[in-house]
Structure 1
């Protein structure tokens, strides 16, 4: 069962050959379908940000979200958590060695980074001491308490605004997804629908109901395309090297696809040919029992995540006027 589910998800991820990329945010995508996710973003507008502090601040933003039950997005989602920092005080301490003491005001923001709408903000004051200004600055950032009640309230307010965004635009989002489906852009359509949070109960349920037949159409189309490719390769050359190449294609086809019986038939032919040629079993064994329950939610999310990570650009966020 475990092997089957993993294979289904792998198939969803490899349907269109997406590759993963990294941006200035969380390097992993751990969110489940229905969770609100925020992209951690540090803009260039933060003045005098010391070298090395950007990653530290990104990590702190990720820590704030994950500690308080919000997923850190590994892709460029429209909703972001960001920060601005102001130096309130700077003192030189007459110690051995001399130390620099800083007091920073760190203001956090949550909002729609594409529309440029700020949803929530909160300022906390922190202090840091170091042998130079850069180290003092970074020590102050490390000292931000992610469990602070004011930060939790800030996140709660931002979350409410995000839920309202989806609730008020549900019909439009679904319509856009259906238009993408009509263009055979199943992966992008599923990506759009899987972004709807579970807290938006009615809209979330509508989205899941729409994704199910959409997902079936996607895996059926993928099956036909890959099976045709596999048949053409095998018809051209029936040696072991080609068999292995075809095996990789067949193993990426979802076992629940409508043409999977044809996949099994071709696989059996290749297995017999390899046995005749090399007197051994073929290394590629496809799924033969398709009567197992699929973890659909994970399969849907895998497609959405693969699409988001497969985009060859980083989103340019608009935070103008937030501070």
Structure 2
């Protein structure tokens, strides 16, 4: 069931992108994953989470989007302790000077696209508080981030334009292996800002989506028939209904599924003298179905993205 909702969600993303007006496809941003390696000097778990939040804020404040899962493209940081001092105050305090280096790149292939550096100062009762104080001084609207983010976005667009045919080919191969969710997920990551590649991939995504719902329809209809043939009563009807309700109204065998549903309803009425309280899904048009799926199943798709773990390579970036 979750897999079906995910596919509907991913296809709805593609439709939403296609409906976005303007050549820039402003509603479909380049997305980055905020990632801070465990090896960064002096970072506690709390500090690492705070830094990742800051990176996400920088991305959002400068014209890009934050990925809900582990995407190929990342914004990451390295922190170097430049100085540690004791203040001549009563009581004495720890004073830190940190060098913060930010990077955008392809985390899967380990290719750096863009970088910028800044210096932070912080004071605290101990080293941990001084360190945290310095990180709090990161200003997410610092003007230098605009060029940093812009360069990273340009490189990402360049990546998709260069790799577009390969991405589409890989998606088709996945679909031929009935891995429709992976195929659509791969295509759905192409941002609208990569207009040439997006325009080329959108009809492929639509075709794969149709292949998915047709394949899923056959599977769910077979399940429903098995359930009903095993128990032609209210229990069997209920079990069959759980399969039938998962069939998309746009699937090729939807009409057959409706006819089978009506057959069950007639049998229940004849044997038990009451109606079977079940109705197949019906949408006025395809867009309505996609919007409904997008609204109802967004959280499931986000959970799927988060469950995809990637080991990033940032060796040599700093």
Give the structure-1-normalised TM-score.
0.81
Choose the corresponding residue for 2:304, options 299, 306, 309.
309
Question: In the alignment, which residue of structure 2 is the partner of 1:22?
Answer: none
1:67–1:147: 8 Å Cα contact kept in structure 2? yes
Deviations 1:50-74 (A, max 9, x none): 2411111111111111222322112
Match of 2:315 among 287, 296, 320: 320
For the 8 Å contact 1:61–1:81, the answer to whether it is kept is: yes
| Superposed CA offset, 1:248-271 (max 9, x none) | 322222111111112222333444
Query: CA, structure 1 residues 69+286, in 2 after alignment: closer, same or farther (shift >3 Å)?
Result: farther
Alignment-derived partner of residue 42 in structure 1: 36
After TM superposition, give the deviation of residue 216 of structure 1 in Å.
0.8
Where is the helix percentage greater, Structure 1 or Structure 2? 2
Distance 1:260 1:157 in 2: 48
| Change over 3 Å in CA distance of 1:245–1:57 after alignment to 2 | farther
Matched with 2:225 is 231
Matched positions, count: 298
CA distance in 1, matches of 2:281, 2:292: 19
CA distance, structure 2, for counterparts of residue 65 and residue 35 of structure 1: 11
CA deviation after TM superposition for structure 1 residue 280, in Å: 6.2
CA distance in 1, matches of 2:96, 2:117: 16
| Residues 159 and 291 of structure 1, relative CA distance in 2, 3 Å threshold | closer
* CA distance in structure 1 between the aligned counterparts of 2:91 and 2:275, rounded to whole angstroms: 73
Residue ranges of structure 1 left out of the alignment (5+ in a row): 1-6, 16-31
**Does the aligned pair in 1 maintain the 2:105–2:111 contact within 8 Å?**
yes
Aligned position for 1:13: 6
Whether the 8 Å contact between 1:129 and 1:136 is mirrored in structure 2 is yes
Partner of 1:29: none
- Tell me which residue corresponds to 2:20: none
Report if the CA contact (8 A) 1:180-1:186 is conserved: yes
1:181 is displaced (CA, Å) by 2.2
Instruction: Output the CA distance in 2 between the equivalents of 1:135 and 1:311.
Output: 31
Offset from partner CA, 1:7-54 (integer Å, 9 cap, x none): 9x9944278xxxxxxxxxxxxxxxx98431111111122122124111
Hey, what's the Cα distance between the residues in 2 that align with 1:267 and 1:97? 79
Q: Does 1:187 align with 2:181?
A: yes
**Residue pair 2:187, 2:201 contacting (<8 A) in 1 also:** yes
User: Alpha-carbon deviation of 1:225?
Assistant: 0.6
Which of 67, 76, 80 does residue 70 from structure 2 map onto? 76
Decide which moves more: 202-211 or 46-55.
46-55
Secondary structure of 2:139 counterpart: coil
Of 138, 154, 166 in structure 2, the residue corresponding to residue 160 of structure 1 is 154
Quote the Cα distance in structure 2 between the aligned partners of 1:52 and 1:127. Answer: 18
Residues 117-165 of structure 1 show CA distances to partners (whole Å, capped at 9, x for unaligned) of 1000011222222222112212222221111111121111100000001
2:112 corresponds to which of 110, 118, 125 = 118
8 Å contact kept, 1:76–1:308:
no
Q: 1:161 to 1:278 in 2, by over 3 A?
A: farther
Moved more, 148-157 or 230-239: 230-239
The answer on whether the counterparts of 2:120 and 2:138 sit within 8 Å (CA) in structure 1 is yes
2:279 aligned counterpart, secondary structure: coil
Give the Cα separation in 1 of the matches to 2:107 and 2:127: 31
Q: Residues 79 and 300 from structure 1, CA distance in 2 versus in 1: closer, same or farther, beyond 3 angstroms?
A: farther
* Residue 247 of structure 1: how far off its partner (Å): 2.4
Indicate how the Cα distance of structure 1 residues 188 and 313 shifts in structure 2: closer, same or farther if over 3 A, else same. Answer: closer
| Residues 279-290 of structure 1 mapped to structure 2, 5 A cutoff | 279=274, 282=277, 284-290=278-284
